[in-house]
Copies of this chain bind each other. A is one copy, B any other.
Amino acid sequence: MNSLNETPDILISGGTLLTMAPPGEIVEDPVIGIRNGKIDFINQGKIPVGHCENAREIIDASGCIVMPGLVNVHTHLAMTCFRGLADDLPLMTWLNDHIFPAEAKFIDRKTVYAGASLAIAEMILSGTTTFCDGYFFEGEVGRAAISAGMRGVIAQGFIDFPTPDQPAHSEKEGVAERFVKRWRDRSPLITPALFCHSLYTCSPETLQTIKAVARRVGVSFQIHLSETREEVRLIRELYGKKPLQHLHDLDIMDENTIAAHCIWIDEEEIDLLASSRVKVAHDPESNMKLGTGVAPVTEMLRRGIDVGLGTDGSASNNDLDLFGEMRMAAKLHKLFTGDPTVLKAENVVEMATIGGARVLGMSDRIGSIVPGKEADIILLDMRKPHLTPLYRPFSHLVYAARGADVVTSIIGGRIVMKNRRLLQIDLELVMEEVRRIAARIKSK
């Protein structure tokens, strides 16, 4: 693996490296070699003499934190088209009176591609290098990601009413199978997956059909779960069970299931999550904005459940900045438990990197800076007034830094942002396209 006798493609030299392997490790003044998209070696001190000085690109990381790119485990990228369209509303009003109608009227291949492209630009500009998206026309999200050089899990969405990409007569099993086949092995950047919206919008048959396909073809299955008290009430009314018990009885819970939110769950349901090794996506900003509640994250972590951080969509957040999400998670759980010593800065950075990779089943490839892993690396310039002085890097990442402090981003060994300039995306064009879509929505 460590091949100093080969010329690296990229060398990153200097600064402070947080490898996240193990979480909390700090390497001062590192030299990181990247070759063929992967991390080739990590040394300390001077650039090793030999082939290294011929690297195609040498990045000076002086004054910077070098760390794994962030992993956003739950989002709906195309919803950037609806950013700020409807705020300060309860989830069900927001969903039924604003989002679902807007989706029915305005979501098509073109809007999904445009919205996802804008979202990817925003994510790269704020340090995310892998996302996990669930929506409709999910292939368009894959296309946008490949074009931008972004890594993503794209989960095709299913719901029990006609959607723009699946009219009433769609046969879900075939749609799911074709989607995975089309996207499997298409690009090392893209991992296909399947997403059932929720227990209240998908019948037991839909859930079981999609999960069966996911098992057969070996991809992850995602779902919104126990997000509101109203949802819990509804599921009890419909099936006489708590949501997680319902999911369990349908035989859907396993280590390839990602449950987003998990707010209104009790001890017994946490037991079910832990024993079935279901992964959890925690979305504190969205949960707070919709006033839905607080997921028992410290308890889940204590029980060994893998929890990652997600932004949710821009219509309920309203941005995709995982630094904001880290800060919110750290502060929310201190408040919720009344204990300022929980979710320490190091734990929160872990959730946003290698912890998120575990949630997506990708921790063998991403989430930490280790030779052999994908070179998904970000640099933050710490020479800013709001980051001065610097006593402890992890503290600043969670409590003071923001996405805009990320200056350079590398995904799979390709530089996608350099000195805050996006290299693979025509940002003006992308923003203009979404503005045009928004103008149509406004005039509806």
A residues lining the B interface (CB < 8 Å) = 80-81, 83-85, 87-91, 94, 118, 121-122, 125-126, 285, 287-291, 293-294, 314, 317-321, 324, 327-328, 330-332, 334-335, 337-341, 344-345, 383, 385-386, 388-392, 395-396, 399-400, 402-404, 427, 430-431, 434-435, 437-438, 442
Contacts and interface: CB of A to CB of B under 8 A. Distances in A.
B385 A335 contact: no
Given A84-B391, A388-B83, A399 B338 contact: no
B291 A339 contact: yes
Contact of A125 (B319, B345, B385, B389): B385
Contact of A334 (B80, B288, B328, B391): B288
A84 B87 CA distance: 33
Given A334-B288, A340-B91, A83 B400 contact: yes
A437 B287 CA distance: 40
A45 to B, nearest CB: 22
A298 B331 CA distance: 20
Contacts of A85: 391
B386 A321 contact: yes
Given A319-B399, A431-B383, A438-B391, A288 B87 contact: no
A228 to B, nearest CB: 10
B388 A320 contact: no
Contacts of A341: 88-90
A42 B227 CA distance: 47
Given A88-B341, A291-B338, A324-B327, 13 more contacts: A80-B389, A84-B395, A87-B392, A87-B395, A88-B345, A118-B388, A122-B385, A290-B334, A319-B400, A385-B431, A388-B431, A388-B435, A391-B438
